[in-house]
A and B are shown apart, each in its own frame.
Chain A
Amino acid sequence: MGIKWNEIFVGGDPLLVGSQIAIVLTVVAIVVGLTYFKKWGWLWREWLTTVDHKKIGIMYILSGVLMFFRGGMDGLLMKAQTARPEMNFLDAQHYNEIFTTHGVIMILFMAMPFLIGLMNVVVPLQIGARDVAFPQLNALSFWLFFSGAMLFNISFVVGGSPDAGWTSYFPLAGKEFSPGIGNNYYAIALQIAGLGTLMTGINFIVTILKMRAPGMTLMKMPMFTWTTFITSIIIVAAFPIFTVALALMTFDRLYGTHFFTLSSGGSDMLWANLFWLWGHPEVYIVILPAFGIFSEVIATFSRKTLFGYTSMVVSIVGIAFLSMIVWVHHFYTMDAGPAVNSFFSITTMLIAVPTGVKIFNWLFTMRKGRIQFTTAMLWALAFVPNFVIGGVTGVMLAMAAADFQYHNTLFLVAHFHYVLIPGVVFAVFAGLYYWWPKMFGFMLNEKLGKYHFWLFTIGFNVTFMPMFFLGLKGAVRRAYTYSAESGFAPLFLVSAIGSIILAIGFAVFCYNIYWSFRYAKRNVFHDPWDARTLEWMTASPVQFYNFAVVPEVKQLDAFWHMKKRGETLTLKESDIKKIHMPSNSGLPFYMAVVFGITGFFLVFEAHIAAAVAAIGIVVGLIIRSFDYNDGYYVSVDEIKETERTWRNVEGGTENHVG
């Protein structure tokens, strides 16, 4: 359908040629490195075929860091382009591509894998389970996400990036106005990644409902587990809508149907509705687990049980419900009429109620607590005021009449960055500093962590605070440049400087990972923060079977009360029984490869090649159907051996906080 094959490899622009060369060199370096250090077998056995929830979580988090880098680069390029009026650093087309990929990558390939990664590592441990309900499906979830993310990321060097915004509104995103293949990448890569996310949702619902330790009733679950549970329900309720929307987009673009076109009866507003029917719940899919992380961190470092546990649970359920009935506030100006706008205005403002309840609960948790200013806690403390700025401006935007003034300006952009960065990114950092010792057996450096914290939070505020005022002055979003006469230049320059500080903060974080990996002490105590929940009861890093004996839960903050009763490190060896564990499998990785190939051919509208590749998917499903591998048992001797190594360490272990 009119693809110019000689233009597949996007060339010409020195930025893109540089990226292409960098990608080739990186791939060569990885291949040579793996071969030289003879690590291919290790990579395959330990990572590519693993079904261990902790390793899958780590792979998610690693992908999140990489995608944060990619999405952050996009952000920096935008800030560079708008630093001065009438800059010629990027042209309009390139700018369109970059704000599109920035949005998609930051939401779907940065925030999502970071949070799902932490969910994977932490939730089975918090509920005292040996793994998730469907370990191999969990691996498939990760590999489908990874396949989709990689497919999306090659777009900027192979064929051209999508350029219709992360919302990909029709008619712009249709074939008529975007004839290139860039938007095919959007439709197909997100579809593949979305399948993985849907499976994650199913997996965690079943895991949390059925695999909790004895005695852990629903109202004794840690708050992060609660938020993961509700998030999983939103995923199952919302992602199929996106699946359909993307499939219809694919049909429109590849097979000439008329769902969202302007001609032959299609409705472009149908896309906007379907997109936000998924898109708004998606915002809560990323924010609720983040709330859970803050709840854990604040309770631990205030040395108090979480204030208002029941109201927290009611609030997240309320937010989940409201998240489904606010989607029209994303397009108040598209002529739905005053009655509809009023309804959605009210539901949108209602969300501030349960969110406010949560904010006050966190504040009351800290009240009269003995607060420890660890890096994780600093992120949680900074979250509260910054997120409130995002929330209050959100209520301003919720007023449909006023929104006609704010909409499509940088005010909106500043608002959602004030919600998503303190809400999600701060939470991810808090979670990483908090759970890092549990994942790797060493801590991230606290001093570097504080540099990271201050640079990042200051850089964040300097970047996005000016954008509120730019927006109120009338600076529109998604415009690649502006005139000198507009008077926008000084604030844009401040914002650009802020983005550099933000980037340095992220660089310090990456350096912290490197430094800690090289030099941090390895004999870290299994409970370095004197924490409250079950994951801290077992070794750091966690042994592959998680718990030698599944703990019995008597109340909320189970581990804290066990410590008070002095029953934590006592393990009766007679209680140990053999443990059943799932076997590794290469099938999820294989599925990611065939899904990726099929998706790639579909992007290029090579229908026959895609159909042939899709046979590979069916073959994978058939192999899985005939797979009767039932896992294996870990012997009692091996468990005893493993438990002795961490329960009786010579010379004692280091307790970093107490």
Chain B
Amino acid sequence: MSANINHSLPLEYQTEQNRLNILGFWVFLGAEIVLFATLFAVYGVLGHRYAGGPTPSDIFKLNDVLIETLLLLTSSFTCGLAVFFMRQRNMKQLLVWFIITLLLGAGFLFMEIREFIHYVHEGATMQTSAFLSSFFVLLGTHGAHVTFGIIWAIMLIIQLLQRGLTPVTARKMFIISLYWHFLDVVWIFIFTFVYLKGMVG
């Protein structure tokens, strides 16, 4: 399995086990798409059931959301740069851009948590109405994914420092970049179908 290194391929695709892992992760992302699609469907059903509580236009602070969006979209770009430098075998640039990615991700999380605290202070908790239940769980699931990604990435940075770029660490780096871009795509849907639609409708 770990034998048969094919040097003509990018580092992360060189061993058979790596190719299996990457395909497996794509399939896992398929499952994640179903998971988020279900949460969006739930939000679609419940999103207008305010039960006398606050509506989106009462509470949403679009300025903060715009900053969150910019932070996360930029982090996807820097994550792409990190993988670009990994392909160039440039460890230093890889780490720099990967750490910038994480800082942007952490900034996003900070803004999102602040936003949630603001809502709770306004009396909009997830127990208030079906709209807020589905709002908090949809966004909370995304935020939990980002948190998990940051912890995962820190573990990976330690391994990159310990071991350098090997087919295994390159594969791990590649897979986490898939994960990170995926979370970005989910956020685009959240921004569109939760925030923009909430402010317009």
Contacts and interface: CB of A to CB of B under 8 A. Distances in A.
B24 interface: yes
Contacts of B128: 264
Contacts of A630: 2
Nearest to A211: B20
A628 interface: yes
B127 A256 contact: yes
A202 B137 contact: no
B201 interface: no
A645 interface: no
Contacts of B50: 265
Given A265-B131, A267-B46, A210 B19 contact: yes
B133 A274 contact: no
Interface string B1-36: 111000000000000000111011001101110110
Contacts of A251: 126, 133, 137
Interface in A271-319: 274, 277
Given A248-B42, A255-B126, A236 B30 contact: yes
B34 A240 contact: yes
Contact of B42 (A239, A270, A631): A270
Among B19, B127, B131: residue with most chain A CB under 10 A: B127
Contacts of A622: 155
A255 B137 CA distance: 11
B55 to A, nearest CB: 12
Given A244-B39, A251-B133, A628-B168, A580 B2 contact: yes
Contact of B49 (A203, A205, A238, A265): A265
A258 B130 contact: yes
B23 A255 contact: no
Nearest to A277: B38
A479 B2 CA distance: 59
Contacts of A144: none
Contact of B27 (A206, A247, A631): A206
A259 B44 CA distance: 12
B133 A266 contact: yes
Interface string A229-267: 000000011111101110110010001111100011111
Among B32, B42, B49: residue with most chain A CB under 10 A: B42
Interface string B150-175: 01100110010001000010000000
B35 A209 contact: no
Contacts of A519: none
A625 B168 CA distance: 11
Chain B, interface residues (CB within 8 Å), range: 35 or more
A243 B134 CA distance: 15
Contacts of A277: 38
B20 A206 contact: yes
B154 to A, nearest CB: 10
Nearest to B162: A626
A505 B83 CA distance: 61
B39 A205 contact: no
B117 interface: no
Given A203-B24, A236-B27, A631-B2, A257 B34 contact: no
A133 B51 contact: no
Interface string B28-69: 101110110011001001100111010000000000000000
A245 B37 CA distance: 12
A205 B159 contact: no
A209 B23 contact: yes
A628 B155 CA distance: 13
B78 interface: no
B76 interface: no
A134 B24 CA distance: 9
Contacts of A259: 42, 46, 130, 133-134, 137
Nearest to B32: A240
Interface residues of A, number: 45
Contacts of B129: 258, 264-265
B51 to A, nearest CB: 4
Interface string B86-112: 000000000000000000000000000
A201 B130 CA distance: 33
Interface in A594-615: none
A612 B156 CA distance: 24
A202 B35 contact: no
A202 B151 contact: no
A73 interface: no
A626 B159 contact: yes
A202 B27 contact: yes
Contacts of A243: 35
A263 B20 CA distance: 48
Contacts of A625: 152, 155-156, 159
Nearest to A577: B3
B127 A255 contact: yes
Contact of A236 (B34, B45, B127): B34
Contact of B31 (A202, A256, A580): A202
A255 B134 CA distance: 13
A105 interface: no
A74 to B, nearest CB: 31
Nearest to A278: B38
A280 B148 CA distance: 32
Interface in A193-233: 198, 201-203, 205-206, 209-211
A204 B98 CA distance: 32
Nearest to A579: B1
B106 to A, nearest CB: 18
Interface in A168-202: 198, 201-202
B46 A133 contact: no
A591 to B, nearest CB: 16
A8 interface: no
B113 to A, nearest CB: 17
Contacts of B1: 580, 582, 631
A122 to B, nearest CB: 20
A92 interface: no
Nearest to B1: A580
A628 B31 CA distance: 26
What are the 6 closest A-B residue pairs judged by CB atoms, nearest first?
A265-B49, A265-B130, A257-B133, A240-B35, A265-B51, A240-B34
Interface of A: 133-134, 198, 201-203, 205-206, 209-211, 236-241, 243-245, 247-248, 251, 255-259, 263-267, 270, 274, 277, 580, 582, 618, 622, 625-626, 628, 630-631
16 contacts: A198-B31, A210-B19, A210-B20, A240-B32, A240-B35, A241-B35, A241-B38, A244-B35, A248-B137, A259-B42, A264-B53, A264-B127, A265-B50, A277-B38, A622-B155, A630-B2
Given A210-B23, A580-B1, 11 more contacts: A240-B35, A244-B35, A247-B137, A251-B133, A251-B137, A259-B130, A264-B49, A267-B130, A270-B42, A625-B152, A626-B159
